[in-house]
Structure 1
Amino acid sequence: MLANYAPVLIFLLVAAAFGAALLALGMALGSGSKDPQKLSPYECGFEAFEDSRIRFDVRYYLVAILFIIFDLEIAFLFPWAVSLDRIGVFGLVSMAVFLAVLVVGFIYEWRKGALEWD
């Protein structure tokens, strides 16, 4: 049974060794002198004028949820449409349930006013 996982273990060991080798190579060949200008925070070419831990407006998160809703819908609709003839009625019902959940999320966004750009 352990022999079945040997390729995965070998892959993980090679990946870890490769990552460690690249980190060591970067430390060995990289310049160690870091001036204050290089270590300063960078935000659009000028110093930050507010605290970075400010609270965001709820509409920002609502727009993010809206993006996820539409992104998931498109990501799952294409493979479903291609294989609809093979998955039959079960696939049709499954996608109907999935789209119903997305519509509930969309209605939630609409009610919260995420689509209003005041």
Structure 2
Amino acid sequence: MDQTLSNFGTVFVFLVLGIVFVVGGYLTARMLRPSRPNEEKLSTYECGEPAVGSAWVKFNIRFYVVALIFIIFDVEVVFLYPWATVFKQLGMFALVEVLIFAGILVLGLVYAWVKGDLDWVRPTPNIPKMPELPKRHSSGRSNG
């Protein structure tokens, strides 16, 4: 029991020292840096070019779809690494579980692919126009 508390104490001390180190660095930098704001320093920096237009630009939704798919598979790798380190200890059960896990993700990828969300240039749908009905000619008589 004392050994467990000692291990947690070590982790806690390490955590506190890490926080103190980071906060101390920020405070030291804030006290030592010169503060001389001017118009050029306060302007928006955009790759060395003057900013043009509004920052509220609509991005194509495909950028977000590709980013989300990347994040999903990136997180999958994070989950697979611990599994791979203890695979021999867990046996066949772990293999079946990871195959189910990967299968669900592959099904999601196939769904996005079939739906066309991975196509960068989508074909425009060919929607046929309704044929115009022939105009009725009125005889000029009123019904009243």
Q: Please give the range of the TM-score, normalised by the shorter of the 2 chains.
A: 0.7 to 0.9
Q: 2:31 aligns with which of 21, 28, 31?
A: 28
Structure 1 alignment gaps of length 5 or more? none
| Counterparts of 2:76 and 2:19, CA distance in 1 | 36
| Counterparts of 2:83 and 2:99, CA distance in 1 | 11
The CA deviation at 1:114 is 2.9
Alignment of 1:66-105 (within 5 A): 66-76=69-79, 80=83, 83-105=86-108
| Counterparts of 2:78 and 2:23, CA distance in 1 | 35
Alignment of 1:50-69 (within 5 A): 50-69=53-72
TM-score calculated relative to the size of structure 2: 0.62
The CA deviation at 1:78 is 6.0
SS in 1 for 2:35: coil
Alpha carbons 1:69, 1:106 under 8 Å: kept: no
| Counterparts of 2:113 and 2:63, CA distance in 1 | 14
TM-score calculated relative to the size of structure 1: 0.73
Question: Is 2:106 the counterpart of 1:106?
Answer: no
The CA deviation at 1:72 is 3.9
C-alpha change, 1:81 and 1:16, in structure 2 (3 Å) is: closer
| Counterparts of 2:9 and 2:87, CA distance in 1 | 37
| Counterparts of 2:92 and 2:22, CA distance in 1 | 47
Provide the aligned C-alpha RMSD in A: 2.9
SS in 1 for 2:47: coil
Worse-matched range after superposition: 74-83 or 48-57: 74-83
Read off the aligned partner of 1:113 and give its amino acid letter.
G
Alpha carbons 1:59, 1:114 under 8 Å: kept: yes
Match of 1:44 in 2: 47
C-alpha change, 1:110 and 1:88, in structure 2 (3 Å) is: same
The CA deviation at 1:12 is 3.4
SS in 1 for 2:46: coil
Match of 1:117 in 2: 120
Higher relative contact order, structure no. (Cα contacts within 8 Å, ≥ 6 residues apart): 1
Read off the aligned partner of 1:25 and give its amino acid letter.
T
Alpha carbons 1:84, 1:92 under 8 Å: kept: yes
